[in-house]
Amino acid sequence: MKKQTLLLTALIVLLTNITPVQAQKFEGLADTPAMGWNSWNKFACNIDENIIKGIADQMVETGLRDAGYIYLNLDDCWHGERDSLGFIQADPVKFPSGIKALADYVHARGLKLGIYSDAGRKTCGGRPGSFGHEYQDALQYARWGIDYLKYDWCESEDINPVGAYNLMRDALRAAGRPIYFSMCEWGTSKPWKWAAETGHSWRTTGDIYNCFDCIDQHPGFAAYGVLQILDMQEGLRKYAGPGHWNDPDMLEVGNGQTVGEDRAHFTLWCMLAAPLILGNDLRNMSQETKDIILNKEAIAIDQDKLGVQGLKLKAEDGLEFWFKPLAGGDWAFCILNRTTEPKTYTIDWQKFNFTDEEVSKLSTDFDKKVYTVRNLWTKDTKKSVEGNTKKIKQVTIPGHDVLLYRLSEQVKKNKR
């Protein structure tokens, strides 16, 4: 009882000593989009500490950690009840060792632990939400050693989203531990317009559905396939950048779509400079899945330090042409085939002369510059260097698949 009284006293002191300077998110946590794994897409509420420990081990053994996937995030249903002072506790059956012990296990493997809560009265899975307990929950997360918070929006009737998310941001700041703040408000209040100083990323849509081109409709809400979510990103790129990212939801790569669809899904999220949060069972992956999520050259497109989200430049005959400016004058170029049939296309680089007036102000200058063209999904290095942008090139894009290139300006050699 004495320990509980001391904790309550500490919380009261904390709440009464907050200054306006503290009311800001932690900087330096999202200079590039977050990378990691989340439990929801594969396991939903069926999680426990043994599963999470197994995932942590696989993130190390498969090389995912070294490729940049450092966050291991618990989603909904880890919760138990609140104690007599209102502090949230872990489910004693699913997590008998507690979250602090789990965080220690994850940290010992060079990873960071994320957790889930909700701005409403209950989470989407019916567990206790953070409404009315924001500062207590933030303090508890800090004590446990949490590094990332996904903050959802269920049971939020009559709650103002700007106030709710700013309140949790301030609570995290007051607790003192740098925690990445992932806002999962589903884009309802257009957070891209107001949340750059609130969160490190914000969801732009409702939930993703494990389908490349479909809508999963339910009474009152819907979940969306990859292409549907991609279309919803139109007009949002100007709001993203280092420290604050548009989040089109977690990845479904490895959860049963075709290899081409998985490759396209992953590529497009890289072009969008989206958080790369895996959602498959890492303990049981095909080689094709590993090849996709561990493609370091594709990951480098997502993690490029220029921090500019890609744009769809044009579309024709079921094909879309995407460009993303990169640091050092490079460009990423993606051709997406939205149809189910293979498409043959002749690339005339001069047709893609443009300036990114909206964000980077950079130009491709294909009429002035010569770029080497590297296919980032070709495994044979000799074949992956596919000429330069002075040449007209014919390519075939399989149905529901992509081609992804990195364009690097050729350096002219001085004549002697």
Helix axes 99-107, 49-61, angle to 10 degrees: 10
Helix axes 161-175, 2-15, angle to 10 degrees: 120
What phi-psi label fits residue 220: left (phi over 0), alpha (psi between -120 and 50 degrees) or beta? left
DSSP per residue over 331-368, as a string? Answer: EEEEEEE-SSS-EEEEE-GGGG--B-TTTT--B--TTT
Of 390, 280, 319, give the one whose Cα is nearest residue 59. Answer: 280
CA distances from 354 to 312, 324, 373 (A): 12, 12, 18
The answer to whether the beta carbons of residues 106 and 72 sit under 8 Å apart is: yes
For the record, the structure tokens of 108 come out as 């010992």
Question: Could you say which of 76, 170, 207, 249 is catalytic?
Answer: 207
Q: What is the DSSP letter of 221?
A: E
Residues 278 and 321: their CA atoms lie apart, in Å, by 25
Residues 159 and 131: their CA atoms lie apart, in Å, by 9
Of 358, 313, 365, give the one whose Cα is nearest residue 336. Answer: 313
Say what the alpha-carbon torsion angle 205, 298, 374, 382 is, to the nearest 10 degrees.
-140
Is 152 a catalytic site residue?
yes
312 beta partners: 322
The answer to whether the beta carbons of residues 329 and 409 sit under 8 Å apart is: yes
Is 356 a catalytic site residue?
no
CA distances from 225 to 48, 114, 261 (A): 28, 25, 11
Q: Which amino acid is at 322?
A: W
Residues 199 and 181: their CA atoms lie apart, in Å, by 5
Question: Could you say which of 75, 118, 147, 152 is catalytic?
Answer: 152
The answer to whether the beta carbons of residues 144 and 78 sit under 8 Å apart is: no
Q: Which helix (H) or strand (E) holds 93?
A: none
Q: Which residues form the catalytic set? A: 152, 207
